Amino acid sequence: MIRMTLAEVATAVSGTLEPFGADAPTTVVEGAVDTDSRMIAPGDIFVAKPGETTDGHLFVPGVAEAGASLAIVEHRVDAAITQIVVPDVIAALADLAREVVARVRAGGNLTVVGITGSNGKTTTKNLLERILQDEGETVAPRASFNNEVGAPLTMLRVTPETRYLVCEFGAAGPGQIARLAGLVTPDIGVVLMVGLAHAGGFGGVEATLKAKTELVEAIRPGGIAVLNADDARVVTMAAVAESRGVSVRWFGRGSAAEMRAEDVEVTASGTTCTIVVGEKRMPLRLRVLGEHHVMNALAALTAAREIGVPLADAIARLETVEIAERWRMQPLGSDRVRIINDAYNASPDSMAAALRTLAQIVEPGQRKVAVLGAMSELGEYAGEEHDRVGLLAVRLRIERIVVVGPDARRLFISAIGEGSWDGEAVFFATADEAYDYLLGELRDGDRVLVKSSNSAGLRHLGDRLGESFS
């Protein structure tokens, strides 16, 4: 965090300062801010967040011993450390992030980019971070730090030297993106797509559209909305942007896009395409696996172009990225048996994209094997969407469909009903059972997709398979 006095921090979070030892209101703090006591180093600031299984207040004495300079708490803790007492530590975390970003921005050198969408946020964030880090100090979320805790923690990492802050905004319900994006009022907002991911929490796809539009509504007047020209729901956000004095830039694969991709080809080693901007045509060779990542690359390139990065430089930097993120279309195993671990999250759109990628990368003589778990947070849409995935897997001629977990059983039944009944589709209640089956079933030339939502836990199954066939 930037240098601030204890009094300034207390004012920012509307808290009561209780100094300890030699500390006074004028004492300066500038350590990292975290809610995880294990990450606290000397001089850091600990936010004692209550959790579902434990309470951060229990760890205040431990962080004091570790040398933390300050604890933000909801009640005074008997520990040898200065504390600021607030009514709600999560609200305080947001307030502190707002203040820190505002102070850095006042220096006139910070550009803030916000990214949202039902799928692709983390990949797009990573791609844009790779482009911008060669331009100047860039702060972006670790992993998928995109919620009410992770987003402010990312914002608090900015320094006076930071030129670019890339924020990823996720949400499980209405109003969350508005609150998070409102902390920083982005200069550029990127909306990737509107789909059924988390539809159960939002109450349907139209409510999801409204929630994703919250990012466009948070862009500062005079800013830029980077929108997916191929998504009809995202297209409707242009009117919202323009009504607020926000310019619109389009990316996509159709002719309406200002930054578009043509001649897309997918192989086991990556994806190639031609980037077209006006009369300019440039090749892009993404090492990241999957045709759907072309759209993420287009979004990152469009945002970077608006920032002022030359297209050739941006493309060259994208071509150095090997994987989008751990557990996202991550190649494991070996050329003999290739495992594609994409089990960090799943929605109907991302599940379909991953299955199509599997179908595209096999060569003659190789088998397609899909190890599939449940898609979470779909609410009333869960049954029919698992049905659709089962049907798609069969129609893509996936030779082995391995369904794991009771919540995914309907996917298995759907595949059986579509004709995958002669041993092509199998069901296992646990990942361990599936692992034992796959050890005996997989053979040279197999290409194996492991795909599920995070809650299904198949990412660890993918890792085990990767190690076994490395």
Task: For 402-450, write each residue's pLDDT tens digit.
Answer: 999 999 999 999 999 887 667 799 999 999 999 999 999 999 999 999 9
pLDDT tens, position by position, 319-370: 999 887 788 889 999 989 999 999 988 889 899 999 999 999 999 999 999 9
Cα distances (angstroms) measured from residue 152 to each of 12, 20, 49, 198: 14, 26, 13, 21
- Amino acid in the structure at residue 270: G
At 421 the pLDDT is 67
Mean pLDDT of the chain: 94
Give Cβ neighbours of residue 246 (< 8 Å, ≥ 6 apart): 189, 216, 219, 220, 221, 222, 223, 224, 225
Provide DSSP, 404-453.
Answer: ESGGGHHHHHHHHHTT-TTTTEEEESSHHHHHHHHHHH--TT-EEEEE--
Among the listed residues 139, 141, 106, 107, the one whose alpha carbon sits nearest the alpha carbon of residue 121: 141
What pLDDT, in 10s, does the model give residues 131-166? 999 999 999 998 778 899 999 999 999 999 999 999
Rg (CA), the chain: 24
- Known binding positions: 117-123
Query: Which domains occur in the chain, in start order?
Result: 4-87 (3.40.1390.10), 109-318 (3.40.1190.10), 330-468 (3.90.190.20)
Specify binding-site residues for ATP.
Answer: 117-123
Mean pLDDT, range 80-102, rounded to an integer: 98
Indicate the pTM of the whole model. Answer: 0.88
Task: Note the pLDDT of residue 368.
Answer: 97
Distance CA 353, CA 346 (A): 10
What is the per-residue pLDDT for 325? 76
Confidence of residue 200 (pLDDT cuts 50, 70, 90): low
Can you tell me the mean pLDDT for 177-201? 87
Judge whether 113 and 187 are in contact, CB under 8 Å.
yes
Query: Where would I find the beta strands (DSSP E) of 280-424?
Result: 280-286, 330-333, 338-342, 368-372, 400-404
pLDDT in tens, 42-64: 999 999 999 878 899 999 999 99
Strands 70-73, 45-47: pairing is parallel
- CA 285 to CA 287: how far, in whole Å? 6
Please state whether beta strands 400-404 and 425-428 pair in parallel, antiparallel, or not at all (unpaired): parallel
